[in-house]
Structures are given as structure tokens and as C-alpha cells.
Amino acid sequence: MQDFALYFQIGRAHILDWQAYDHLLFLLALCASYLLSDWKKVLLLITAFTIGHSITLALSVINWIHFPSAWIELLIPLSIAFTAVFNLMDRSTQKWQGLSSYLITLFFGLIHGLGFSNYLKSLLGSEISILQPLLAFNLGLEFGQIIIVITILALAQLLVSQLKLPQKTWILLLSILSVGLATKMIIERFPAIL
């Protein structure tokens, strides 16, 4: 049980780490179009992300898949930029809807999972069974994501409902911030793939 708590904490810390802000930035872009009243839809989206994250993390840890880390580190900010640009394409508060939104979010989870796999491999070391550590890590990740998402959604609800900030303005601000920071990461990481 002590190992479970340790890996749960590592998963939670992974998402709440301000130095690894790419994951936080993805959640910010993903939540930009939503308010607190949309929490069920957003919970399903982040769960799709976690499922994707879990799949590639597990497959990478057991050495079934291998991708050059430079490409993964470039694809992560590209996924953030895509998500934010999608928000900007329709300024009428269009939300990610339907099966396609969950599949896209799942796909981005697959990419982000590969970004953390080398670190988790080094932590697992010679663990005989990786099932419990992976489960604990991903539950910790999901818990951390829920904390972040509730914070973003509550802030959006406060600004839009109470302070009367137009929701279109909120979406625009978060999306532009996300695109700007993702573009900076893309520019910094692009030379590594050459």
C-alpha cells in the first residue's frame, strides 16, 4: 500500500508541477470553452486524456513502443496549439462536442503519455509488476487534473457569471495565451528534431 501511495503522489505531483507547465497548459486550452456548470463534459474529456496517457505510458514502460523523445517533446506543444486554435476558430463559445472531441483528446493523451515514460521507467527500475504503480500513478494524475480543471472552471464561472466578463473574451484570452506559450515551446524544441 505504501508503494501505491508513493506512485499516486508522483502522478499528482506530475500534473501539479509548475516547471512542467505543458500539461497544465493543455488543460487550460482544453477547458477554455467551459464553465463550472459543464463539469461533467470536462470530466469525460480529461478522463479520455488520462486513458490515452495511460495506454502509451504502459506500452512504453514495457518497451512495446518507442518514439524519439525529441519528436514527442515537439508534438506536445503542437497538441496544445491545436486545442487552443480550435477554440479560436469559432468564437461563439462552441465547445468540444461529440465523439470526435473525446477521440482527439484521447489521441493527445497518447502523445503526452510518451513524454513522461522515460522518467517513469527510471522510477520503476526493476519492479516485477508495473500494474499497481501505473494504476496509482494514473489515478494520481487524474486527481491532480480534477483539481486543476475545477480551479479553471470555477475561475471561468466567477469571471463570466459574477463579474460579467463575456465568455467569448475569456475563451479568446485563454486560447491566445495557450497558443503563445505553445508556440514558444515549439520554437525552442524544433531544433532538437533536426
Rounded CA-CA distance 75/59 in Å is 18
Cβ-Cβ contacts under 8 Å for 193 (sequence gap 6 or more): 68, 70, 71, 74
Cell of 4: 501505491
With CA atoms as reference, report the closest residue to 25 among 17, 13, 36.
17
Domain with 170, as residue range(s), is: 2-193
pLDDT, tens digit only, all 194 positions of the chain: 678 999 999 989 988 888 878 989 999 999 999 999 999 999 999 999 999 999 998 898 888 998 899 999 999 999 999 999 988 876 444 555 667 788 899 999 999 999 888 777 777 766 667 888 889 998 999 999 999 999 999 999 999 999 999 999 999 999 999 999 999 999 999 999 88
- Per the structure, the count of domains in the chain is 1
| 165 exposure class (CB count in 10 Å sphere: 0-12, 13-18, 19+) | middle
Q: Give the pLDDT score at 26.
A: 95
Please compute Rg for the chain using Cα positions. 17
Alpha helices per DSSP H over 68-130 = 69-89, 98-124
Question: DSSP code of 95?
Answer: P
